Amino acid sequence: MTSELNIHTHGPVGHISLNRPKALHALTQGMCEGIGEALLGWREDDAVSAVILDHAEGRGFCAGGDVQLVRNSALEDGGAAGRAFFHAEYRTNHLMFTYPKPIVAFMDGITMGGGVGISQPCRYRVATENTMFAMPEGNIGLFPDVGAGWYLPRLPGAVGKFLALTAARLDGAECLWAGLATHYLASDTLAEAKARMVAGEEPGAVLDALSAEPPEARLAGNAEKIDLLFGSDKLEGIIATLEGDDSEWAAKELKAVRAKCPATSKVALRQFAANADCETFADNMVMEYRIASRMMLRHDFIEGVRAVLIDKDNAPKWVPIEPEGVTETMLDEIFAAEPQGGEWTPFPQLA
């Protein structure tokens, strides 16, 4: 078992703590596999009735996945290691989504990308005053994955599109309002919540009892504007609508949308539409794996990681640079089925 995870059982509770503090607990392939192995072991264990998922020392909860590994793979081995990472990560996401026992994710800190992927499938998702939630893949030329194609279209109104196209950061109160969190607790009550679960109390009852009144959710105040300005299913339509609004808020969001990778944004919008044809979460993960296998090899991802994480100049040069350059033919190729034997599959026990 990787040292990047702390895995224990306490009475009736399985406990997984992410333990990669210098990387804000970003997920490696070994961590994804370790989480999956633990959950599979507890799945049929009658002594374990619930699972706690949190982070160990330092800031957390989980800042994403190991995108530098994926970039290196794209440059060095044709994406083989990157595909292996995504396959393992998505298997764990799917296992969590279908898990028969309650998993409680404590999103007490940064929850982005891969951190969203291991928190959103959980039955209970706890936000605090420290929560910072985002799907920032448009900044690095990837796409909103780890199940975002399933979760984001199901958020109120056009909030999902807004999050995907702007990489907006939500606080804990906003996560609760949007349904990304099921409970809001003060961070100084989390230890008590976990102790009560370990003592055998039902997790939902514990969280209900300790829930705090959150601050006003700023997102709720902007929901009407988001629905109006992000209502189109076309990137060009959303940009035109934002350009036609002379408010300061619209100008700020227009700048955010324009800064993101156009291919990422168009992929996200098609991904949301295509999810309507996904009967199960597994179907969605098949789709996302196809997209990931192609997006990781594109110039935009290699350039985006360079600009944001390596050189840190935050000046990526997207290709194409304008939305109009991202054609339907390009999108068809990104979403096409993998060759025989190359598709994503769930854990054999769940197939």
Alpha-carbon 49 to chain mean position: 26
| Annotation says 160 is catalytic | no
Asked if 134 and 213 count as a contact pair (C-beta separation under 8 A), the reply is no
322 is catalytic: no
- Taking the C-alpha atoms of residue 303 and residue 294, their distance in angstroms, rounded to an integer, is 15
CA distance 31 to 35: 6
Among the listed residues 4, 54, 89, 145, the single catalytic one is: 145
Concatenated DSSP letters of 41-60: HHHT-TT--EEEEEE-SSS-
Q: Give the Cα separation of 48 and 51 in Å (integer).
A: 8
Catalytic (active site) residue 149: no
Given 34, 60, 65, 149, the catalytic residue: 65
Residue with tokens 């976990």: 194
Measure the CA–CA gap between 125 and 175, rounded to whole angstroms: 10
| Rounded-to-integer distance, Cα 54 and Cα 21, Å | 12
Is 115 a catalytic site residue?
no
Q: Which entry of 137, 171, 300, 303 is annotated as an active-site residue?
A: 137
The radius of gyration of the chain from alpha carbons, rounded to an integer in Å, stands at 20
Q: Is 110 helix (H, G, I), strand (E, B) or coil?
A: strand
Strand-pairing partners, residue 320, are: none
**AA letter at 40:** L
Residue 151: left if φ>0, alpha if ψ -120 to 50, beta else—which one? alpha
HSE toward the beta carbon, residue 283, CA cutoff 13 A: 9
Give the length of the chain.
351
User: How large is the greatest C-alpha to C-alpha distance in the chain, in angstroms?
Assistant: 60
Which listed residue (36, 64, 79, 114) is catalytic?
Answer: 114
Active site residues: 65, 114, 137, 145
